[in-house]
Structure 1
Amino acid sequence: MANLTIVSVDDEYPALQLIQKYCEQIEGADLLKVFQNPEDALNYLKQNKVDLVILDINMPYMNGIELLRQLPYKPLCIFLTLETQYAVKAFELDVVHYLVKPVDFETFRKAINKAKDFLQFKNSVEQQKKEDFIMFKSNYVMNKVLLDDVRWIQGFGEYIILMTHLKKYMILDRMSNFEEKFQNLGFIRIHKSYIVLSSHISSYDTAHVYLKDGEKLPLGRTYKNSLKAYLN
């Protein structure tokens, strides 16, 4: 497993020194940067994605909760602070741990290891999503196609065409059967003749659905409300 990349933000320099000392003693804890100024930290984190941020809460100019909410992505977070009244708010933000100063090494180590476990679980879930696939018969052969490769499904009476980035498959099946069989994977009907993956939709208007690969497909009037409800 790769090292846990960390940035720490605290307006008290002795606290940052202690975090540096603790991280040096924990295998796989890679402390990249420390910041006393939360605005400098925010600018750095917007440009550099890290696994974990260790944040003080009560800081000048911007508190730790505000900093976390302004990030364009959601890293793991440990709050390390003198304040106790923000614990409920912190856990609403799905923080890994809430540590109250002063914190001893063993407590800090357990919090870091908990962050490692969270990251490992998150990565395994994301990898599983990448490997999602469907199986179907086409031309008397069972085919396995990754979801990421599916562009759209088009119906032609008793047959459907499954279009991928590299190949077109003709399947003896009805649209309604395909929709029912695979809807739990994110397929959604947008027209009487078209089904797409919701994760591949870039945008839509009153008459069309636009996919992330640039394709434009028709949006049926009877499917607009269900599409809007699904995506919102």
Structure 2
Amino acid sequence: MANLTIVSVDDEYPALQLIQKYCEQIEDVELLKVFQNPEEALEYLRENRVDLVILDINMPYINGIELLHQLPYQPLCIFLTLETQYAVKAFELDVVHYLVKPVDFETFRKAIHKAKDFLQFKNSAELQKKEDFIMFKSNYVMHKVLLDDVRWIQGFGEYIILVTPLKKYMILERMSNFEEKYQNFGFIRIHKSYIVLSSHIGSYDSAHVYLKDGEKLPLGRTYKNSLKAYLN
């Protein structure tokens, strides 16, 4: 397995020393750089892509959350901090883990292995235009759902509901983001609030799309032509 490349940023040098010590004990991990100055870390990360960043939150000049927002790409992230009040905000950013100092080696090791699993799924999706499953986070838990089990996606502002035969998942993500992320997986927008998997469409008329399982969904006027072109 390829190395998980890491950069760690913490204004406290003993914390960086501990992370370096822990990383040396985990296989397939490469700690590329450590930074006490978050501005220097930001400059480095803008020029160098890494798999994972381990960030403190409260730091001078720029905090860990701001640093993550300013990156031109989205690496995996583990927050390692004394603060507990940012946990909800951190999970909204889709972080791998939120560790509170002091952290023991076994807890750290589990977080790193979780990041490895995320990276494996991410890479497999990027290597193929279409997979038979999708990965997403709902209620702070990563879920793997087969494409054939996705009946439709419905938008509610900042959230979407992913509907399967057995369960509905609420996901903190806008419809447009989901549409862009999975554009090569066979999904098609049929309404401002609905996305379906094209292989599940049985028929359609001027106002509705009928899925093969008998479900009827609304068809927006502005999406009729694109649906017709996609299916024909």
Report the TM range for the smaller structure's normalisation.
0.5 to 0.7
Q: Sequence identity of aligned pairs in percent? A: 91
Q: For residues 175-232 of structure 1, what are the alpha-carbon distances to aligned partners after superposition, in whole Å with 9 as ceiling and x for unaligned?
A: 9999999998569899999999999999999999999999999999988996999999
- Check whether the contact 1:207–1:220 (CA below 8 A) recurs between aligned residues: yes
Contact 2:188-2:227 within 8 A present in 1 as well: yes
* Range 176-185 or range 131-140, more displaced: 131-140
Shift of residue 114, structure 1, vs aligned partner: 0.3
Q: Count residues with an aligned counterpart.
A: 232
CA distance 1:210–1:66, change in 2 (3 Å): farther
| RMSD after superposition | 14.2
* Cα distance in 1 for residues equivalent to 2:160 and 2:103: 62
Deviates more, 1:49-58 or 1:155-164: 155-164
CA contact (8 A) 1:130 1:148 kept: no
Rate the CA distance shift 1:61–1:174 in 2: closer, same or farther, 3 A: closer
User: Normalising to structure 1: TM-score of the pair?
Assistant: 0.59
| Contact persistence 2:129–2:184 (CA under 8 A) | no
Displacement of 1:126 in angstroms is: 1.6
How far does the alpha carbon of each residue in 1:26-80 deviate from its partner, in whole angstroms, 9 at most, with x for none?
A: 0011000000000000000000000000000000000000000000000000000
Correspondence for 2:127: 127
| 8 Å contact from structure 1 (residues 10, 36) kept in 2 | yes
What is the CA-CA distance between 1:128 and the residue it aligns to? 2.4
Structure number, greater radius of gyration: 1
Q: Report the more deviating stretch, 99-108 or 222-231.
A: 222-231
Partner secondary structure for residue 210 of structure 1: strand
Q: Which sections of structure 2, spanning at least 5 residues, go unmatched?
A: none
CA contact (8 A) 1:155 1:174 kept: yes
